[in-house]
Chains A and B, each alone.
Chain A
Amino acid sequence: MQKKIIITGFGGQGVILAGRIVGKAAAIFDKLESSLVQSYGPESRGGACSVQVTIADEQIHYPYINVPDILVCMSQAGYDKYRDIITEDTILIIDQALIKLNTPFDCYAIPATRLAEEMGLKMMANIIMVGFLIGITGAVSLESAKNTVSESVPRKTVDINLKAFNRGYEYALDTLKSCRKKAISDTGVVQ
């Protein structure tokens, strides 16, 4: 088993932290192997910024990702940079308010930044996105993800971060439910 995840956005959104939460949840709490490489440099403030997380049940040799199993985009520039390497098997996840799609592939969309603004904390968009990512893909277990969120943010902000995580997670469950309903009405088959 190997899952390759790229999360991309612009510097300041907490893209790296989002990746670290997923990687750490897999490595420490799910007892898997995980490697994380990140873009590093002056561009990490305001410019395009990305993190590549590989999760596996065996040793990971090469930590860079050619074709992601999951691509999470939190900025147009990030999406534009990676859209050409994805395939129809890639699970594409976007912040729908920030990205205009021009690929033929389906995607899972969440207005993470707008939801964060509604909660009064725009900077939580990354945690909402992690919740959504885990809800849609099950890349790591729910418990592990929550534990890691709690450990990875300042102590005073644990509750609000967990709330943000749950907001994204529930949005994912609703999304999956409506996908199933749509599938039933399209085909008449209960899957």
Chain B
Amino acid sequence: MRLAVLTGEHYITGDEACAEGALAAGCTFFGGYPITPATEIAEHMSKCLPEIGGTFIQMEDEIAAMASILGASWAGVKSMTSTSGPGFSLMMENIGLAVCTETPCVVVNVQRGGPSTGLPTMGAQGDMMQARWGSHGHYEIIALAASSAQEMFSQTITAFNLAEKYRTPVILLADEVIGHMSEKVIIPEASEIKTVSRPKPQGEKEGFRPFQPGENGVAPMPSAGDGYKIHVTGLTHDERGYPVMTVEAQAQMVERIVKKIQNNRDDIIKTESYSLDDAEIILVSYGISARTSLAAMNQARALGMKVGFLKLLTIWPFAEEKVRALATKARAFITVEINYGQIHLEVMRSVAGKAECHLVGHAGGTVITPEQVLERIKELY
């Protein structure tokens, strides 16, 4: 037997740290299908969940895996799955169902080279946009990134907390390097770990409306078996959860799903700033490329160049206010990512012509080196 929170110092991979973060956050259900480079998350959960009284199920595929965690969530437990590109594509339909039914759950995507089955054993960061709008219809979602084993632990906890708070699926975007890399992970005492649980309804069961929002735009969520009459559907529904096929019902439901994220941007969006105060050139990055950027920034500073770095911990919603404010002071932005410019587009949109925007990016399979970034900095300086 083991405790849910493995307090102490550990030398583990990012994938293992992610699983430990889930357990520390109170996750007791994992439904998944193994896929490189995310398999170790499922493997670790399969070992640990039975020991803390939780449930692990290997489903027949990723479509079913995603469905299983929605069911578990409505049964009242914190649930998650993990996958990589091909599985993430299969999960898209039910991620949309999670958004529409406002079902808290966590989906971890340890990215590898794509499209399609791509490069199974090699990293990439090409699923950033898919995380945002990979399912059909207009919606807002929360997606986070992690750039170390320690962050895989802490960001998984944050993912659960945001999922529960806002009744929404939260996606954690990692990459093969971070997933497979080993580092020291410090797990604090259980009492020091802040966890959030979904708002539960109180009072009259008769006439209860499971999709009637509370103060922050989020509706209290009953579990199956609590005694509330609930109807959960992917069809456009009213506050009772019943399908209503009207323009008005669609407008009301979609607007609320969008606004509960948009109106709480300040609470959701987290970034880390490095040497931004006097920076003339600002690097923007996340995941493994954040580490490349930090190394490049230090090398540039050592050469006397005023370079800063903005690390994105939250990918969606995008930190546009932060970038826009920086654009009034900096001369140029360089987005560093292992794709041909996905977050780069968001940086450009946010900068809105107030500074130059450049990309250091390439296709998947290998990381971007600090030398590549430094070279671009020198060209611009």
Contact = CB atoms under 8 A, between A and B. Distances in A.
Interface of A: 20, 23-24, 27-28, 33-38, 40-42, 61-64
Dominant SS at the A interface? mixed
B37 A40 contact: yes
Contact of B298 (A34, A40, A61): A61
A20 B370 CA distance: 25
B11 interface: yes
Contacts of B294: 61-62
Contacts of B10: 28
B121 A62 contact: no
Interface in B263-297: 291-292, 294-295
B254 interface: no
Interface stretch (B53-61, B178-186, B206-214): B178-186
Given A23-B11, A40-B121, A61 B295 contact: yes
Nearest to B37: A40
A23 B182 contact: yes
B291 A33 contact: no
Given A33-B184, A61-B294, 16 more contacts: A20-B182, A24-B11, A27-B9, A27-B184, A28-B9, A28-B10, A34-B183, A36-B183, A37-B177, A40-B37, A40-B121, A42-B121, A61-B295, A62-B292, A63-B181, A64-B367
A173 B143 CA distance: 53
A4 B141 CA distance: 40
Most A CB contacts (10 A, CB to CB) among B37, B176, B180, B183 go to B183
A46 to B, nearest CB: 16
Interface residues of B, number: 21
Q: Which 3 A-B pairs have the closest CB atoms?
A: A24-B11, A41-B121, A62-B295
Contact of B291 (A23, A38, A62): A62
Interface in B237-275: none
A19 B294 CA distance: 25
A34 B180 contact: no
A28 B184 contact: yes
Interface string B129-157: 00000000000000000000000000000
B200 to A, nearest CB: 40
A115 B240 CA distance: 74
A191 to B, nearest CB: 35
Interface in B87-101: none
Contacts of B184: 27-28, 33-34
B280 to A, nearest CB: 21
Interface of B: 9-11, 37, 121-122, 176-177, 180-184, 291-292, 294-295, 298, 367, 369-370
A105 to B, nearest CB: 24
Contacts of A64: 367, 369
Contacts of A40: 37, 121, 176, 180
A36 B292 CA distance: 15
B11 A27 contact: yes
Given A20-B11, A41-B121, A61 B291 contact: yes
Given A28-B9, A28-B11, A41-B121, A35 B183 contact: yes
Nearest to A43: B121
Contacts, number: 53
Contacts of B177: 37, 63
23 contacts: A20-B182, A23-B11, A27-B9, A27-B183, A27-B184, A28-B10, A28-B11, A33-B184, A34-B183, A34-B184, A35-B181, A36-B181, A37-B180, A38-B180, A40-B176, A41-B121, A41-B122, A61-B291, A61-B292, A61-B370, A62-B291, A62-B369, A63-B181
B178 to A, nearest CB: 10
Most A CB contacts (10 A, CB to CB) among B181, B298, B369 go to B181
A37 B310 CA distance: 24
A36 B369 CA distance: 17
Nearest to B288: A63
A33 B295 CA distance: 16
A6 to B, nearest CB: 15
Contacts of B37: 40
A37 B122 CA distance: 12
Nearest to A32: B184
Nearest to B13: A36
A164 to B, nearest CB: 21
Nearest to A151: B11
A1 B367 CA distance: 24
A153 to B, nearest CB: 15
A92 to B, nearest CB: 24
Nearest to A21: B11
Contacts of A38: 180
Nearest to B294: A61
A64 B121 CA distance: 17
Nearest to B180: A40
Given A20-B11, A23-B11, A40-B37, A63 B291 contact: yes
Given A23-B182, A62-B370, A34 B291 contact: no
A35 B151 CA distance: 14
B328 to A, nearest CB: 28
A64 B176 CA distance: 14
Contacts of B298: 61
